[in-house]
Structure 1
Amino acid sequence: MVLLDRSTLMVVFALMTLTMLVLFYFDTYRKNRAPFAGWWCWAVASFFLAAVFYFMGEAEAVAWAPSVGNGVMVLGSGCVWAGTRSLAGRRILPWLLGIPAMAAFAVDASVHYSDNARIGSIVLLALMGTATGLASMELWREREDSWHRVRSLAVATAVCAVYYLSRTVGLAVLGPADPLFQVLFGTGVSMLMAMVLLVVVSSSITSLNYARRTENLQELAYHDGLTGLLNREEFMRQAQRRLRANLAAGVDTVIVMADLDRFKAINDRFGHDAGDGVIRAFAQACRLAVRDADLVGRYGGEEFALLLDGVDAAGGVRIADRINAALAEHSSLPAGADSPTASFGVVDAHDGNAGLQRLLREADRALYDAKAAGRNQAVIGLTAAGTQPG
């Protein structure tokens, strides 16, 4: 059986981390630059630098290098924790990561040449175990939402946390020369655990990054790029399904068509950037005026379509008025310009025989009646049965 010395193990670990860093950065992180993937890049880079410092201390007898390596190793473990927090969208204070790293460096440097030199290793392992344990806890908090995506990462960080904390206890109780400690927690076993963590976490982060990229592409496919509202195709798909469900359940439903007033004049006078700003302002006004359950889509150009749940035509008019009021407050036009307005056509979808396309046509006719009546208002259109509600 061939046993590798510590220097050789450090070289192997450094080469492995450097290879994984290069592959992960170019193959995963650069494709969408997700924050959690960025934190993992910093973690792997820290582990690589730590291996370099350990090698310098082991093979080149550079006195300060092991202490620096301890600090950088703790910093890398902190980056793993930061990555799991960013994965869930939780706040991170990067400067906090430097506190345990500096503590690991300071403790090891102060005891390195004393009879209590192993205290530096105990502090290192305790801090690494705590950081990876916190990372695992962050991931376990996500069980309800995306557990299937983070399961392997949560288990890997939990196993590593248990190992590092157990090694801390073993080092404190048994000491580094004890045969049992060498069997369970020797350098070779520790390097193997670190490599397993690197492989599992890199694989998991790559999978998560791919899933996020897929979600981003789906978001682009279903939503309008300028406003973030549903695009026409996705609005029609969701509105068809919602309309059928509401009619079957007897839930009141209103279809609304909206069009910005004198939009061409806005473009001609202030430019297309200003026109785009008005469109975005209208989208924001819709978000403020409607409920989360309602559907809002950009139907085309400056025209929008809405499906409102649980209201009648008169309720649809009130919501349209709220949208116009919010639009006036969020106008992006230059000071002194008239606030933009919109006209609306509102149709009650109480007739079970009316399809979505027919309701949209009726709402569009009512919209043009609103334009003809002077704009900046909502008009209730004829229902599919040929009568006007209320």
Structure 2
Amino acid sequence: MVLLDRSTLMVVFAVMTLTMLVLFYFDTYRQSRAPFAGWWCGAVASFFLAATFYFMGEVQAVTWAPSVGNGVMVLGSGCVWAGTRSLAGRRIRPWLLGVPATAAVAIDAGVRYSDHARIGSIVLLALMGAAIGLASAELWRERVDSWRLVRSLAVATAVCAGYYLSRMVGLALLGPEDPLFQMLFGTGVTLLMAMILLVVVSSSITSLNYARRTEDLQELAYRDGLTGLLNRGEFTHQAQRRLRANLAAGVDTVVVMADLDRFKAINDRFGHDAGDGVIRAFAVACRSAVRDADLVGRYGGEEFALLLDGVDAEEGVRIADQINASLAEHSSLPAGVDAPTASFGVVDTRERNAGLQRLLREADRALYNAKAEGRNRAVIGFTAAGTQAS
């Protein structure tokens, strides 16, 4: 059996981390610019630099290099934690990562050439174990939608954190020269654990990045590019399913057709950029007025469609009025110009079994009645009794 010395192991680790950094950066991060991928690039780069500093201290006897290597290792572990935190969309303060890294450098430099030299390594292991343990806790706590893709990452970080904390305890109780410590926590075993972590995390992040990119492409396929609302095809698809489910469950449903008033005049007077701003403002107004479960789609041009669950036509009118009030507040038109408005046609499913296309046609007729009555209003379409109210 061939045993590799510490310097050779450091070279192997440095080459591995550099190779992984280059591949991951060009193959994953540059294509997505995802924050979690960026943090992992930072982690791998830190581990490479740490290996370089350790090699300088081992082979070239640079006295300050091992202490700096400890700090960079802690920084890399912090980047692993920051990356898992960014997966859940939680806030990260980058400057906080420098605090434990600086402490690791200062403590190791202060004790390295004293009788208590092992304290520097104990602090290093404690900080690394804590950071990687927090990374695992972030993943287990959040259970993100892509859990199957990060499950191996959660397990790997938990095992790695447990190993580093166990090594810390072994170092404190047994000392670095103890045969049992060398068997369980020697340099070779420790670097092997680090390599396993690198491989598992890189694989998980690459898979997760691919899944996120696929989701983004799917999102583009059924979202309107200007407003972010559902496009016509996707709105119709989801609304048909929702309406069938509501009818089977006896839940009232309201369908609303909306059209911006005098939109052509806005485009002609202020330009298409202003018109686009009004459309975006209307989308914002819709989101602020409806619930998350309701459906809102851009039906075409300046026309929109809404499907509201569990409400009647009168409540649909109230929501339409709320949208118009919000639209006036978010208008992008120049000051002094009348705020944009919209007209609405509203129908509901009370006491009848109507399909989506019929409801949309009835709502569209009510919308034209609203236009004929002076715009900037909501008109209720045909009811179950066959009458019309406004």
TM-score normalised by length of structure 1: 0.97
Matches within 5 A, 1:128-147: 128-143=128-143, 145-147=145-147
**Equivalences, count:** 390
Look up the equivalent residue of 2:284 and give its one-letter code: Q
C-alpha distance in structure 2 between counterparts of 1:288 and 1:131, whole Å: 39
C-alpha distance in structure 2 between counterparts of 1:365 and 1:91, whole Å: 48
2:90 corresponding residue in structure 1: 90
2:149 corresponding residue in structure 1: 149
1:299 corresponding residue in structure 2: 299
Check conservation: 1:313, 1:389, Cα contact below 8 A: no
Matches within 5 A, 1:161-310: 161-310=161-310
Check conservation: 1:359, 1:383, Cα contact below 8 A: no
Quote the offset at 1:354 in angstroms: 2.1
1:345 corresponding residue in structure 2: 345
Look up the equivalent residue of 1:75 and give its one-letter code: L
1:327 corresponding residue in structure 2: 327
Alignment pair present for 1:56 and 2:52: no
Q: Secondary structure at the match of 2:258?
A: strand
Look up the equivalent residue of 1:154 and give its one-letter code: A
Q: Secondary structure at the match of 1:346?
A: strand
Quote the offset at 1:385 in angstroms: 6.7
Cα deviations by residue, 1:258-311 (Å, 9 ceiling, x for unpaired): 000111111111111111110011011111111222111100111000111222
2:30 corresponding residue in structure 1: 30
2:69 corresponding residue in structure 1: 69
Check conservation: 1:247, 1:352, Cα contact below 8 A: no
Quote the offset at 1:21 in angstroms: 0.5
Look up the equivalent residue of 2:263 and give its one-letter code: F
Look up the equivalent residue of 1:319 and give its one-letter code: I
Quote the offset at 1:168 in angstroms: 0.6
Check conservation: 2:352, 2:384, Cα contact below 8 A: no
Q: Secondary structure at the match of 2:89?
A: coil
Check conservation: 2:34, 2:209, Cα contact below 8 A: yes
Alignment pair present for 1:375 and 2:366: no
Look up the equivalent residue of 1:251 and give its one-letter code: V
Quote the offset at 1:195 in angstroms: 0.3
Q: Secondary structure at the match of 2:306?
A: strand
Look up the equivalent residue of 1:155 and give its one-letter code: V
Cα deviations by residue, 1:80-110 (Å, 9 ceiling, x for unpaired): 0111111111111111100110011011111
Gaps of 5+ in 2: none
C-alpha distance in structure 2 between counterparts of 1:263 and 1:360, whole Å: 21
C-alpha distance in structure 1 between counterparts of 2:207 and 2:31, whole Å: 13
Cα deviations by residue, 1:58-85 (Å, 9 ceiling, x for unpaired): 1111111111100000000000011111
Cα deviations by residue, 1:124-171 (Å, 9 ceiling, x for unpaired): 111111111111111110237543232111110010001001111111
Quote the offset at 1:117 in angstroms: 1.4
Q: Secondary structure at the match of 1:141?
A: helix
Check conservation: 1:359, 1:384, Cα contact below 8 A: no
Quote the offset at 1:351 in angstroms: 5.5
Quote the offset at 1:223 in angstroms: 1.5
CA change 1:316–1:384 in 2 (3 A) is: same
C-alpha distance in structure 2 between counterparts of 1:364 and 1:129, whole Å: 63
Quote the offset at 1:361 in angstroms: 1.2
2:39 corresponding residue in structure 1: 39
